[in-house]
Amino acid sequence: MPIRPLVFSDNPLLRKKSHQVRHISPALRQLIDDMVETMRTSNGIGLAAIQIGVPERVIVVEVPEEVPEEEDQEEDQEEDQNEETPRPTIFHVVINPELARKSRQVEEGIEGCLSVPGWIGEVSRHRTVTVKGLDPQGKEVRIKAEGLLARVFQHEIDHCDGILFIDRIEDSEKIWPVPEGEEEAAEAAQEVPRQ
């Protein structure tokens, strides 16, 4: 599974709409494997095929599992004792993803992007969404998502439509520089950097 080079925001390819996938093929499965490896190696929590130069509607998402605050405090104590324990994640691959439903309720949240290194921003997104598409075997899926998972799905589907998160920020006070490589960590933690 080779790690593929990322496409950055100065590349006009990121502004084009990606094509629908017509066939589930071995080449598509290899693309998905490469996307997962590239996302994980880059410490990402989501990746669209266009971000590695392939204009097809395919996304991979892997976010930390959200836990109630009480359990989170217990986990923090356990992690202090054992730094090697990885936090459970929610993982999805969706081919031809679409937002089938979206809540009226929206919320602000922090986003970063592997294709926009060195920047994060506060973006308004729907609190809950239902995503429909195909899984890697070509079976129809419907995924109800909320919170960070919903945010990442919306972010990656935007990539399929040629939209970057920075396009959704109108107020220049809501975008901040961060060290390269820490964009999606800030998104997962939902933390605004200290100035």
92 has which bridge partners? 61
Q: Is the Cα dihedral 181, 15, 187, 146 positive or negative?
A: negative
Cβ atoms of 63 and 21 within 8 Å: the answer is no
109 has which bridge partners? 123
Amino acid, single-letter form, for residue 80: D
Cβ atoms of 178 and 112 within 8 Å: the answer is yes
3-state secondary structure of 76: helix
Location of structure tokens 């093929």: 25
Catalytic machinery residues:
156
143 has which bridge partners? 131
Q: Which long-range contacts (CB under 8 A, 24 or more apart) does 62-71 make?
A: 62/36, 62/89, 62/90, 62/91, 62/92, 63/89, 63/90, 63/148, 63/149, 63/152, 63/188, 64/88, 64/89, 64/90, 64/148, 64/188, 65/89, 65/90, 66/147, 66/148, 66/149
